Amino acid sequence: MNLFISFVHHFTKMMSMDLKNCAFLILFAFLILCADFGACYARNSMPWRQSRIHLSSVMDKGHSSHHNHKKHNTPLAPAPAPKPKPKPPAPMPVPAPAPKPKPKPPAPAPMPVPAPLAPAPSHKNSTTFNVQDYGAKGDGQTDDMKAFLAAWAAACKVEASTILVPSGSIFLLSPISFAGPNCKPKIIFQLDGKIIAPTSAKAWGSGFLQWIEFTKLTEITIKGEGIIDGQGSVWWKDAAVYAGTDTSQNIPSTGQNRANELNNMVSTQISAELSKMPKTKPTALRFYGSTDVTVTGITIQNSPKMHLKFDSCTNVHVFDISVSSPGDSPNTDGIHLQNSQNVLIHSCNLACGDDCVSIQTGCSNIYIHDINCGPGHGISIGGLGNGNTRACVSNVTVRNTVMRNTMTGVRIKTLQGGSGSANNIMFSNIQVSEVETPIVIDQYYCDKEKCKNQTSAVAVSGITYANIQGTYTVQPVYFACSDNSPCTEISLATIQLKPHQTSHHLYGPFCWKTYGESKTSTVPPIDCLQKGNPSNAPSKIASCQV
């Protein structure tokens, strides 16, 4: 501070100095003051900004004193005592950082808006047609026939389409026909659910020959794991058998009267229901006039009559299906072929009350293998020639088949009065177990209580039996051929049939008007087979010429 006063005093003396020297001195003094005051206030921790403000005020006072001195020419007053250094101002409080806002709780998720129910698909660009999309209830009580027909009408217009019968539902269907011939080819009927037939007489009217029918179609397939149930017990004459077990067994004597009452009541109810049903019993599933037909995977059970029928069809393939009905259910053939050609049937389980497979007139090029048959009547060709008609069957092979507890094994049956022929037929690798009569040709077959004797008959020739083995309960071989049309070219090889102990009376092999040869020894010996050909052997070619 003393330095500053000395500077001012010296400055007044130098007023006469030229301006240049004055400016230099002022600058020099300013630099000294800056260094002095800066160091002072730095030692007292004064902010440099405050030092600058203080220095500025001092400089202003200096200039003011200089001007006053010049004007009044008064001596300088002695320097006042220095004021005490002001305390440095308290540092500005640093505002506390604003607390982080608490995260807002997440807004509750909006309630999911249910998607609107999809309308029934228009199937404009689809090839799958679900019967439930067309109104089928699948509750086992509502007749879904109209819904099935609506789905069929849509699928019929689309090549390689699929009719879907979904699993998990039971569809009641009154008699129905899925008809062509204007449908596109390659339709698939995907059966995964269950279809049941009505049991009320009203649904059947005066009677139908079939319950479910596919007619005049090309490349039609039925497949799936579903069931077709004909609920046929209400049609069978001895339906009382299926009402349950005999309640008279193992019942204390005190309850016997009540058991008899229950049995009588059940029998009365069944008889009343049977009296209402039409006399014509329907086949469960029929194909008519169709080409390239495939049936696979499904189960057909309890048909009122035949389970599966092919009539006037070509190129038929049936495999991996099951047929099931009681062994004493009447006329419930498993698979029935009529007027059909180029048929392959294999890998099936067939249990029914009649023929496991029945081959009728007009059939040719039939190949059957790997079949489990029983109960039932075996695999049969015929009856042929019924009602004095001409019947023609040729080129049939049945092999690798097992038959258990059947009435016959492999059989050819014709009725008197018929014409035509059954020829070029082979049965090979057949295993029989407790079969009444494993090998049968019967040209006197009668499907009524009484048939009249007639001279004409369907000619039977060119029949081969090879490697047929197992057990029988009545008779191993039965050949009953016509007097006027004997059986010819019958060939036997590796026949090994042994009796199974039963209560039946056992018979030995029987032959009548049967010509052919045994190429190996047989068990039992079949000595009744005549060698050569009879003089009146029919012409198998002429008998079936158009």
* Residue positions annotated with a catalytic role: 354, 377
- DSSP label of 26: H
Look up tokens 């009529």; give the residue.
Answer: 338
Percent helix / strand / coil, the chain, rounded to 5:
20, 35, 45
> Is 178 strand, coil or helix?
strand
In sequence order, the 6+-apart residues with CB closer than 8 A to the CB of 155 are: 129, 161, 162, 163, 183, 187
DSSP H or E run through 169: none
What's the rounded Cα separation, in Å, for the pair 335 and 323?
Answer: 8
The answer to whether the CB of 514 falls within 8 A of the CB of 528 is: yes
What's the rounded Cα separation, in Å, for the pair 110 and 474?
Answer: 80
DSSP H or E run through 3: helix 2-13
From 501, 494, 520, 499, select the one nearest 509 (Cα to Cα): 499
> Is 23 strand, coil or helix?
helix
- Give Cα separations from 404 to 325, 327, 350, 428, 496 (angstroms): 15, 11, 11, 16, 16
451 phi and psi angles, rounded to 5 deg: -125, 140
